[in-house]
């Protein structure tokens, strides 16, 4: 007999996944507004370009456009969300609703990223954009608490790879590091825009002992991962899924890691994997073929993320539902991914530890104890020894 709770023997229900405390590290603010909010904001700001005027149809349009395999159509979707996110009021609202939606989905800690330079078209300055988004997240956290949910949201300021404002954005992130901005990111099309073009921004952040992640190893393979880590000094990899190109799996299942894959695993470099997004961009053919499970079995520091909830029609819970269907994950596996993500967050160590010990572990323990006391719980004889 052991004093530990038994391992939950079968995949959790969608409701249990939703109630499980979860952590999100890779989510774009302009990839997650509610369709109904976009329609209302378009009305208020006089934006005529939305392709649909009913919320359901608009949500469907975003998913379709992102599924189409056409890069133009995919990028076009962000034109619409950003078009209506140009005023203080719009940014406050979208950020507040983001916090509420994540909290409703059981997310207890999130790092949501956005590019301040994409929200200046109606006259806001970079500082005003950051202040509006911060205000929105604090509002959303308060509303979530009133509804019985506990969530903390930090932000990452993103600079666009093709633009030339990365140092300015890095300095902006550093100025706001004590007021909700927890790090920095580089995003945008990888082709033709290597992160080394932004070395001055990364040098600056390292000089300031600040944190950053880089979108790398999504469309592009190992060279982009190597560059992000060894030339730029990234703390985490946005996606990083192509690290599997440096892993050889023999027919008997034995895996051999190349030097870069070994480095990533040895140094516990967090991988911000986004399964549904990868399926839409063609980085994986199906959930069952997604490298997330190979990387999990090899004990890489894997985390599960949404990327763009609106474009992918997803949530953190839905990502775990799909992975549970594909790989038979239990609550223990979801807890493992969640603790990985919390360990990899950019907030201070003691705050990460407090969330792990006071929120995440008790949350999973409570859910697992339900297996013992509900009708669906198995008899003790069928408890799996899987660990």
CB of 377 to Zn ion, least distance (A): 39
**Annotated binding residue 26:** yes
Has 30 been labeled as part of a binding site?
yes
> How far apart (Å, rounded) are the C-alpha atoms in residues 47 and 40?
10
Q: Per the residue annotation, which of 100, 111, 141, 218 is the catalytic one?
A: 218
Check the annotation: does 60 bind a ligand.
no
Catalytic, 218? Answer yes
CB of 139 to Zn ion, least distance (A): 24
Which residues on neighbouring strands pair with residue 214, listed in sequence order? 186, 237
d(CA 209, CA 204): 9
**Is 56 known as a binding-site position?**
no
What lies within 8 Å, CB to CB, of 298 at 6+ separation is: 247, 255, 257, 265
Q: Is 293 annotated as a binding residue?
A: no
Question: Residue 163 CB, nearest distance to Zn ion (Å)?
Answer: 16
Residue window 201-240: x/- pattern of binding to Zn ion, with contact defined by CB under 5 A: ----------------------------------------
Contact call for residues 354 and 345 (beta carbons, < 8 A): no
Q: Which is nearer to Zn ion, 7 or 281 (CB)?
A: 281
Q: Exposed, middle or buried: residue 287 (CB in 10 Å: 0-12, 13-18, 19+)? A: buried
Residue nearest to Zn ion according to CB distances in the complex = 307
Residues 284-313 that bind Zn ion (CB under 5 A): 307
Q: Total number of residues binding Zn ion (CB under 5 A)?
A: 1
Least Å distance between CB 26 and Zn ion? 6
Annotated binding site for Zn(2+): 26, 28, 215, 307
Query: By the criterion CB under 5 A, which residues form the site for Zn ion?
Result: 307
Annotated binding site for substrate: 28, 30, 188
Instruction: List, by residue number, the catalytic residues.
Output: 218
Annotated binding site: 26, 28, 30, 188, 215, 307
């Amino acid at each position: 007999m052991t004093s530990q709770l038994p391992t939950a023997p079968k995949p959790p229900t969608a409701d249990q996944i939703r109630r499980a405390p979860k952590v999100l590290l890779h989510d774009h603010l302009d990839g997650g507004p509610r369709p109904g909010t976009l329609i209302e904001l378009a009305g208020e700001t006089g934006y005529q370009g939305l392709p649909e005027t009913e919320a359901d149809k608009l949500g469907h349009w975003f998913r379709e456009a992102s599924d189409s395999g056409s890069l133009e159509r995919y990028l076009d979707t962000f034109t619409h969300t950003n078009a209506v996110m140009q005023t203080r009021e719009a940014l406050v609202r979208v950020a507040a609703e983001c916090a509420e939606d994540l909290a409703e989905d059981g997310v207890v800690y999130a790092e949501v990223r956005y590019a301040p330079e994409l929200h200046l078209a109606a006259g806001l300055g970079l500082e005003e954009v950051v202040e509006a988004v911060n205000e929105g997240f604090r509002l959303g956290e308060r509303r979530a608490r009133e509804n019985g949910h506990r969530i903390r949201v930090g932000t990452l300021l993103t600079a666009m790879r093709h633009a030339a404002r990365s140092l300015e954005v890095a300095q902006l992130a550093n100025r706001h590091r004590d007021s909700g901005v927890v790090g920095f990111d580089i995003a945008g099309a990888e082709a033709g825009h290597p992160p080394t073009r932004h070395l001055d921004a990364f040098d600056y952040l390292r000089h300031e002992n600040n944190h950053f992640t880089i979108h790398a190893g999504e469309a592009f393979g190992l060279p982009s991962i190597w560059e992000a880590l060894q030339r730029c000094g990234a703390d985490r990899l946005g996606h990083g899924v192509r690290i599997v190109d440096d892993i050889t799996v023999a027919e008997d299942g034995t895996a051999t890691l190349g030097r870069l894959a070994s480095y990533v695993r040895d140094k516990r470099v967090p991988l911000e994997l986004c399964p549904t997004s990868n399926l839409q961009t063609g980085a994986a053919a199906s959930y069952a073929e997604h490298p997330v499970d190979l990387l999990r079995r090899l004990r890489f520091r894997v985390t599960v993320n949404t990327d763009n909830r609106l474009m992918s029609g997803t949530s953190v819970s839905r990502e775990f539902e799909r992975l549970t269907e594909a790989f038979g994950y239990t609550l223990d596996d979801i807890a493992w991914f969640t603790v990985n993500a919390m360990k990899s967050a950019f907030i201070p160590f003691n705050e990460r530890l407090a969330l792990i010990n006071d929120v995440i572990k008790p949350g999973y323990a409570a859910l697992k104890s339900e297996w013992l006391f509900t009708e669906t719980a198995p008899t003790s004889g069928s408890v799996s020894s899987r660990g």
